[in-house]
Amino acid sequence: MISILLASYNGEKYIAEQIQSVLSQTVQDFKLLINDDRSTDSTFAIILEYAQRCPEKIFVSKNRKNTGGAKHNFLKMIIEHKDDYIMLCDQDDVWLPDKVQKSLDEIRAMEQKHGTNTPILVHSDLKVVDANLNVISLSYEKMANTSFAKRSLNNLLTMNIAAGCTAMYNRALAGLIASEPDYFVIHDWWLALTASAFGRIGTIHEPTILYRQHGNNDIGAKKVLSFGYIRYVLTHLDEMAVKVNNSYKQAGSFLKFYHDLLSVKQRELLQAYMLIPRLSGIGRLKTVFKHKTFMHSFSRKVAQILILLRERSVRQ
C-alpha cells in the first residue's frame, strides 16, 4: 500500500487541481492523507468535499494549532504515518499521470537489488511551470544547475537534491524518522540526509510533476545559470551566508539525532562540517576541500568560498 502525504495550508487556489491530478494516477493502490495546518481560507472546506466524494481513498485531519511552517506539518505527518511506501505531495503542483507508477517501479527495482530492509528514497526531475502551467523549463536539474548524482552524505550536507514533492520512500526509511530533531532546514533535505547516511537514493531522470512557480512558494526554482542570478548571489553574500550557516547547524542536529547509528567516518565528517564556523578563513576552506563539501554550480561555489574566507563569520 502507498500513503501519499499532503500538508495543506491556505492553498485554496491550486489544491483542487493537485488533488485531481493525484486521483487521476494510472496506479490507484494508494490512500491520500491530508493534514491541514489551520488554514484561514477555504482550503479545509475544499479537502473535506473531496474526502466526502472519495471516503475510501482520501482521509483528512487538522492540527490543533498551526505548526509554524510546511516543514513542521510535513515532518509531523512523516513521523505519524508509516506504510510500505510513502510519497510527499505539495498542495500547489500537478502530478503527471504516471508519477506513482514510475516511482513504484524504481523503488521496487532498488529494493530487489539492495533488500527491503535497506532505507531507500527515490526522486525525479521536475518540469518547472508558471502559475498557469506554462512551461518555464523542461528540467529542474538543468535549470538549477545541480547534479542528481551528488547523493553522498558529504554532497548533501551543503545542498539537497531530492525535492520532496517528487519523492517516494520505503518503510525502512520511514522507520528512521521517529521524532522531530532539534533543528532541520526543511523536511525533504532531512529525509535525503537520512537515506544517504543509512541507505540508498535513486533517481528518475525525467519529470513526474509540474512544479508550479507562483511567487509564494516556500522553496522555488531559480535559473542558476542566468547572469542575473550569479550577480544576485555575489552581491548578496549575507543571504547566502545564512543558508550556509543553517547547513552547519543542521549537520550538528543530524549528528546528535543519529549519533549511535552513524559510522565513525560519518561522525567525523559531520563533526568537521558543523565546526567550520569556529575556524579561521583558511581553516574553513581546508575543511571543505578535505571533505569535499562544496556547493553545486560554479556561482554557488564561488559564493561559498568568499563566505568561507571572510574574516567575520556566524559562529555556533
More confident residue, 286 or 296: 286
* pLDDT on residue 223: 56
* pLDDT on residue 310: 83
Mean pLDDT of 178-205: 98
Mean pLDDT of 254-274: 98
Mean pLDDT of 231-250: 89
CA dihedral 22, 23, 29, 33 (to 10 degrees): 70
Closest CA relative to residue 197, chosen from 151, 246, 231: 151
* pLDDT on residue 215: 66
Return mean pLDDT, the chain: 93
Do 65 and 158 fall into the same domain? yes
Query: What band does 217 get if pLDDT is binned at 50, 70 and 90?
Result: very low
168 touches 195 (CB < 8 A):
no
- Residue 76, domain member (yes or no): yes
Mean pLDDT of 217-246: 73
Separation CA 123–CA 130 (nearest Å) = 21
Domain count, the chain: 2
Least confident of 107-111, 239-243, 287-291: 239-243
Do 208 and 238 fall into the same domain? no
Separation CA 60–CA 47 (nearest Å) = 7
- Residue 188, domain member (yes or no): yes
Separation CA 143–CA 146 (nearest Å) = 8
Residue 92 has pLDDT above 70, yes or no: yes
Quote the pTM value. Answer: 0.92
Residue type at position 51: A
Q: Which residue has the cell 525525479?
A: 124
Query: What band does 216 get if pLDDT is binned at 50, 70 and 90?
Result: low
Mean pLDDT of 117-121: 98
Do 196 and 251 fall into the same domain? no
Q: The domain that contains 69 carries what CATH number?
A: 3.90.550.10
Residue 222 has pLDDT above 80, yes or no: no
Pairing of strands 94-95, 200-212: antiparallel
Least confident of 121-125, 289-293, 307-311: 307-311
- Residue 315, domain member (yes or no): no
Cα separation values, 307 from 168, 227, 297, 302, Å: 35, 20, 15, 9
Do 118 and 263 fall into the same domain? no
Do 152 and 255 fall into the same domain? no
Do 265 and 156 fall into the same domain? no
Closest CA relative to residue 31, chosen from 70, 85, 99: 85
Pairing of strands 94-95, 58-62: unpaired
Q: Which residue has the cell 479545509?
A: 44
Mean pLDDT of 19-38: 98
Strand runs labelled E in the chain: 2-8, 30-36, 58-62, 85-89, 94-95, 120-129, 135-137, 168-170, 200-212
List the grid coordinates of 184. Answer: 532541520
Mean pLDDT of 166-170: 98
Mean pLDDT of 65-80: 97
* pLDDT on residue 235: 82
Residue 311 has pLDDT above 90, yes or no: no
Strand runs labelled E in 171-263: 200-212
Closest CA relative to residue 216, chosen from 74, 51, 9, 62: 9
Q: State which residues form the domain around 126.
A: 2-212
Residue 261 has pLDDT above 90, yes or no: yes
Do 252 and 115 fall into the same domain? no
- Residue 221, domain member (yes or no): no
- Residue 26, domain member (yes or no): yes
Residue 227 has pLDDT above 80, yes or no: no
The highest-confidence range among 128-132, 232-236, 293-297, by mean pLDDT, is 128-132
